[in-house]
Chain A
Amino acid sequence: MQFSALSLAYNALTGHRHWKPTWRDAAPKDAYDIVIIGGGHGLAASYYLAKEFGFRNIAVLDKGWIGGGNIGRNTTIVRSNYLLPGNIPFYELSMKLWEKLEDDLNYNTMVSQRGVLNLFHSDAQRDAYARRGNAMRLEGVDAQLLHREEVRAMAPFLNFDNGRFPIQGGLLQKRGGTVRHDAVAWGYARAASDLGVDVVQNCEVTGFRIDNGKVEGVETSRGFIRAGKVAVAVAGNSSRVMSLAGMRLPIETHVLQAFVSEGLKPAIPGVITFGAGHFYISQSDKGGLVFGGDIDGYNSYAQRGNLPVIEDVCEGGMAVMPMLGRARLLRGWGGLMDMSMDGSPIIDRTPIDGLYLNAGWCYGGFKATPASGFCFAHLLATGTPHPTAEAYRLDRFETGHLIDEKGVGAQPNLH
């Protein structure tokens, strides 16, 4: 059923008896043209495969419930304020797709462009942000460099002279903001399912059938599924899943925590990041302050983090927003980050015929969801990379065409 204010009113009057399941809880068929593993970016990929490229015989498999991976565990920040030419056009494509996503999916994913503000505290940081802002402008992306007083007008509650690292100004991307993460998963699942895609939950891939260097299908907890092509988009589980196909990836898995406070009346307008510590924050429509910081720093597949990082994040928070002292942290959680060697993702074919990889999103892959799905679909359907994702090659670590935004090198826990 089409969603709108009207259909809502009609259903309200008729006791909500007519709503259908948001997506079909499909049972896996024996064979598909394309099997996508992972119900995050994979859902978006399936949707674009169906909508843009006319595929119908596709399945998305997830080992758990839809949205249970990072797509439903992140701090919901979307932006395209990247520095390097390999990244900017891709994330800007994503931003453009976000901007029309609700229309596209007929689902309110609450794309909220309230702005992303990165604070700077030194001349060197200012110059680095200027370099980035100019790079964005060259690509036609909106960016503004704000003086301290302009920042104050936007966010008077910040501690400008915080006793340690005074705020000098900020880089603002007004079109950045937040998106309701669960709704993205559900909206894509619904739209894909409506186009005939089988969204299969509780179906874990346990192996690949590979014959003569060509993938034949996947072994799953619900039996063997034959596939013309297999596309892997399992984020923090990438190394584990690809090892089932005998591949080692330039990826390490780390834990990133995020936190939410109790519900509060509106206090923080958009997304704000602290430049002299690792801390970022926004406020959800429900009123919770959503915030996070660094990854925990050690390799782990446990979806939980530890106290030192919580303390570090809260210290950063108190440094810029000492008003947070009496707000209470309500919940914290951890997600598995597929940290790549240069901090940028991979969307590419693999040496195994018919096996495709989408991975290495580190902790910035939520904002990429639409473009990642779109470009992955393009690659799967046409066999060639989408022009905005050409740099995301698997062999770039061998050739040295790295996309290292932070310049920290091949140390995944620093990206």
Chain B
Amino acid sequence: MSPQPNRRATGGLIDRSVSLNFSFDGKQYGGFAGDTLASALVANGVTLVGRSFKYHRPRGFLTAGSEEPNGLVELRTGARREPNTKATTVELYNGLAAMSQNRWPSLAFDIQSINNWFSPLLGAGFYYKTFMWPGFLWEKLYEPLIRRSAGLGRLSMESDPDSYEKVHAFCDVLVIGGGAAGLMAALAAGRSGARVILCDEDFRFGGRLLSERTEIDGTPCAEWAANVVAELDGLPNVTLLPSTTVFGVYDGGTYGAIEKVSDHLETPGPGQPRQRLWKIVAKRSVLAAGAIERPIVFGGNDTPGVMLASAVRTYVNRYAANPGKRAVVFTSSDDGWRTIADLAAAGIEIAAVVDPRLQVAPSLGDIAKRAHAPVFLGARLREANGGHALASLSIIGADNRERQVRADLLAVANGSNPNIGLTNHYGHRPVWNEEISAFVADVLLPGMSVAGAAAGRFALADILRTGADAGAKAAEDTGFSATMPPVPATTADPVSATPLWHVDKSRGKAFVDFQNDVTAKDVALAAQEGFRAIEHLKRYTTLGMATDQGKTSSVTGLAIMAELTGRSIPVTGVTIARPPHVPVAIGAFAGIHTGPHFKPTRLTSGHRWAEENGASFVEAGQWLRPQWFSRPGEMDWLETVNREVLAVRNGVGICDVSTLGKIDIQGPDAGILLDRVYINMFSTLAVGRARYGMMLREDGFAMDDGTTARFSETRYVMSTTTANAAKAMSHLEFARQVLWPELDVQTVSITEQWAQYAVAGPNARKLLQNLFGLAIDLSPEAFPYMGVAEFEFGGTTVRLFRLSFSGELAYEVAVPAHYGDALIRRLMAAGAEFGVTPYGTEALSVMRIEKGHVAGNELNGQTTAGDLGFGRMMSKKKDFIGRTLAARPGLVDPERPVFVGFKPVDPSRRLRAGAHFLGLGKAATTANDEGYMTSVAYSPNLGHWIGLGLIKHGPERLGERVRAYDPIRNGDVEVEICSPVFVDPEGARLQHV
């Protein structure tokens, strides 16, 4: 391991006993436990870490936290590659591999940095003004070029191998941010017994206390923080969530948070998720997310080595890593002066302190004196020089004289913006506070309070006090009695700031948004071109839209716009931060719902039997249904399906129909409810009988069909299609609870509680007789077509329905679902002597098409009962849902396509659903479109393809030939319009004895 040239031998919150190896751009480095990737790079003297988006300018770290715009890397390799990862937020681990991005061929030598020379052409919005001629070159040339050079990191394009989890949590007080204010808030609320969750995005609690050298209650502040954390850790009602960022506030006091569970490991441990998405419902929350320091816009302010002063202190104090040897401090805030002492203590020479203010508090001057730092008041920086690393700075003094100062580090402080993005999440805009020259939250979200620097309090004593206050108040609001913890003693440092947004007459490119390469000139161009509304500024220049979401740029940009347009900052306006507060992995939002767990898989109770018997399964919504049961030697699915169909029509077959919706309807008014939801009558249905019914939507279109059976005066069992089971259920519930609450009727879905099999074919009765013996009389007289019965058999209840979808003599047998497996095995055994054949949905569908029954393809939500041939079934004797609107002219228009059958004129031709019908010899235009094919099948009984469809005046045109036009599959078949019932039109087979 190479030595870490910029690491000091002592101090900092790193564990020098745990060395870690890592690589950046293929080169090996060493760091320590407690480092971030950024701090380890700083310790190793790596200053060039990235290239900017547009001009490919060399960039180093600007910050040490999640607001970082420059230091983005591709972390990890292979399928685990994570583009655009902020090195400042990555906890170092052994074996870490990171690559710089958006550069070619290398970080040090990047060809596209020539964009820098063309920058006069590439100002804000340049692309709106050019690349228009000739038009076709946009997709062919200009756009591919733009696309290739845009974008930052690369996706791996491989499936994410890691898993994600979700947690639902509830608490009284959620504390967001574990710095001085957050710790005090958690302590106050935690001691009261309230359920507290404390989140911090850092892997270590303490916030700025980890990076400063001040004392609290006489102990170094980081140590004080550790003591508080230890106490909180001991409280059973407090949950500590380090490495967890609250990213959004949603309706009803729900907070979204993302926890990095194993991002500090090379790969997650066995069974360990990579990240965990928390959905925290909190009665109260305390936002104590601190503040983010602001840069100053001046020429070359993006040169590697230019850092925010707070970041410099973090590297120097927390990580004992010196980001330079000779530093300048450029500050408009008292806070920035703090950096001087820390630099001096770390052995870094201070070349100059530059403050645009003409006067500062005497205590600040003393700091500089002790550090032997030359001070320039009323001064500013005109330009930073250096390519890949800062070399010198030019200072313009109060006397307007320009001086060059050699330096490899510049610490910039310009006051801070309270970190209040989360307070915007309901759409509230923050307000400008002139006193602290920053935006603060105005309208607070229900249950939320703000404390510490997030509330615009920058003195440590105030931060501690407001934290304790907010925590105690939140606990009290949720019914606990809290005593304010005593506010510990601190030194009183001055905290005033007079921001300098932009150095006038500075030389070179002056960046506002570092990552998106938005300069002060771009802001000026936007103003000149009329994009003065703050949202226009953002969209036109892309200011604040990079992965740092404008945390270091938005306010500065709008302040410059305010200056340029001679308006105040509040009049200029402010953008609203939207969730997520930090970018969140898409995988984390999906959680476990990936791959086979995307949606629940619903299996019928006979699934295992079907698997054992060679079924191929097909998705029917969330269900898996046997599609067919291939036998050895069969060449393709069609051969199998033909066999199954013929077996049913000539013998007997069994099909699992458990997935059809089943609804139990009970109560004295059950018949009335059914009369109102079906177009036909059900109250008159005899007990022990079933009837086919169709229901409409309120708007008069057909919704679903099925049979409903009556088992007693007060009890019906409805069946629906598989697809519409839930829809029909909610329709009934709506009718029962909202439309007619006075009806005495209850409904419940029993789809999953009952297994149901269709037994169909000439031998169906014999098979069932074999099985049920004397338990039920199946003679045609005792159990006619459309008869139903419920009886006890083998220790359970059996429901038997004499229904037929196939047109054969057929029954459906239902038993409670846990007997489903036994039922299919017993049915198969009972049918063995008749060569019983299991069949799947495909054969089922062939037979229903042969019989002209409508199904999902016809019940497509765009057809009326009349279209489907059920016009006459619509009762005139009663009212029902959809009746009135079904009478609208558009729904009874005689020009509407109507349901009929189709067969190919040349019987060898295949038909396809989705073909449109055109009159023979007519041009293929919308005007000549007469309808479309809804369902097709190969009929092994007829030996050719058959189809169902909708065509204008269909029933009046039987025998006429039309064209089934299918250009999308190169198909054009002449077909003859025919009756939709292809097999056994008299229905004789139903009555087989």
Contact = CB atoms under 8 A, between A and B. Distances in A.
Interface of A: 3-5, 7-9, 12-13, 15-16, 19-23, 25, 65-68, 72, 85, 88-89, 99-100, 102-103, 106-114, 121-122, 124, 126-135, 137-139, 143-145, 157, 159, 162-165, 180, 182-183, 186-187, 201, 261-267, 276-277, 283, 285-287, 302-304, 306-307, 310-311, 313-319, 322-333, 341, 396, 398-402, 404, 406-410
B148 interface: yes
B586 A112 contact: no
Interface in B946-993: 965-969
Nearest to A407: B861
Contacts of A22: 529-531
A137 B924 contact: yes
B827 to A, nearest CB: 28
Given A285-B150, A307-B256, A134 B129 contact: no
B530 A323 contact: no
A139 B923 CA distance: 11
Nearest to A127: B913
B651 interface: no
Interface string B149-185: 0111111111110101010000000000000000000
Interface string B424-441: 011100000000000000
B150 A408 contact: no
A11 B980 CA distance: 72
Contacts of B926: 85, 88-89, 135, 138-139
Contacts of B540: 182, 186
A306 B425 CA distance: 11
Contacts of B756: none
Nearest to A121: B619
Interface in B613-644: 618-619
B84 A263 contact: yes
Nearest to A141: B926
Nearest to B101: A265
A16 B150 contact: no
A34 B183 CA distance: 61
A134 B968 contact: yes
B160 A400 contact: no
B697 to A, nearest CB: 4
B597 to A, nearest CB: 8
Contact of B698 (A85, A315, A410): A410
Contacts of B123: 12, 16
A396 B891 CA distance: 11
B590 A311 contact: yes
Given A113-B139, A262-B153, A326-B586, 11 more contacts: A5-B130, A7-B129, A112-B143, A130-B913, A139-B925, A165-B598, A186-B540, A317-B586, A318-B593, A331-B549, A341-B699
Contacts of A163: 595-598
B914 A263 contact: no
B862 interface: yes
Interface of B: 53, 80-84, 120-121, 123, 126-133, 135, 138-139, 143, 146-148, 150-160, 162, 164, 166, 248, 250-251, 254, 256, 279, 425-427, 521, 525, 528-531, 533, 535-536, 539-540, 542, 545-547, 549, 578-580, 583-587, 589-591, 593-599, 601, 618-619, 697-701, 703, 856-857, 860-862, 885, 888-892, 912-916, 924-926, 928-929, 932, 934-935, 965-969
A121 B861 CA distance: 20
B130 A134 contact: no
Contacts of B427: 302-304
B583 A329 contact: yes
A8 B126 contact: yes
5 contacts: A13-B120, A135-B916, A262-B83, A283-B147, A410-B699
A328 B585 contact: yes
Contact of A400 (B81, B590, B888): B888
B160 A326 contact: yes
Contact of B147 (A107, A266, A310): A266
B583 A323 contact: no
A305 to B, nearest CB: 8
B968 A137 contact: yes
Contacts, number: 356
Contact of A263 (B130, B150, B967): B150
A25 B132 contact: no
A306 B250 contact: yes
A159 B130 contact: no
A329 B256 CA distance: 13
Given A262-B152, A311-B591, A103 B135 contact: yes
A12 B121 contact: yes
B139 A323 contact: no
A394 B123 CA distance: 46
Contact of A134 (B132, B531, B598, B915): B915
A15 B119 CA distance: 11
B150 A323 contact: no
Contacts of B542: 286
A88 B542 CA distance: 35
A239 to B, nearest CB: 19
Contact of B580 (A16, A114, A283, A332): A332
B336 to A, nearest CB: 30
Contacts of A262: 83-84, 152-153, 547, 583
A286 B529 CA distance: 22
Contact of A327 (B120, B155, B619): B155
A177 B82 CA distance: 28
A8 B159 contact: no
B697 A20 contact: no
A400 B890 contact: yes
A162 B150 contact: no
B129 A3 contact: yes
Residue from the set A137, A138, A401, A406 with the largest chain B CB neighbour count within 10 Å = A138
Given A16-B525, A410-B698, A323 B160 contact: yes
Residue from the set A85, A182, A341 with the largest chain B CB neighbour count within 10 Å = A182
A163 B619 CA distance: 11
B619 A165 contact: yes
A327 B159 contact: no
A-B residue pairs, 8 tightest by C-beta? A407-B861, A325-B160, A130-B914, A400-B888, A287-B151, A400-B890, A325-B587, A21-B530
Contacts of A277: 598-599
A318 B594 contact: yes
Contacts of B935: 127
B496 to A, nearest CB: 34
Contact of B888 (A89, A132, A327, A398): A398
Contacts of B133: 4-5
Contacts of A9: 121
B159 A323 contact: yes
B947 to A, nearest CB: 11
Given A127-B913, A307-B250, A108 B132 contact: yes
Contacts of A128: 860, 914
A122 to B, nearest CB: 7
B968 A144 contact: yes
Given A285-B143, A319-B594, A326 B80 contact: yes
Nearest to A261: B586
Contacts of B619: 121-122, 164-165, 276
A252 B566 CA distance: 42
A326 B80 CA distance: 8
A264 B101 CA distance: 10
B534 to A, nearest CB: 9
Contact of A21 (B529, B586, B593, B914): B529
Contacts of A201: 533
Contacts of A328: 84, 547, 583-586
A88 B981 CA distance: 34
B598 A306 contact: no
B130 A266 contact: no
Nearest to A143: B968
Nearest to B573: A65
A145 B143 contact: no
Nearest to A291: B586
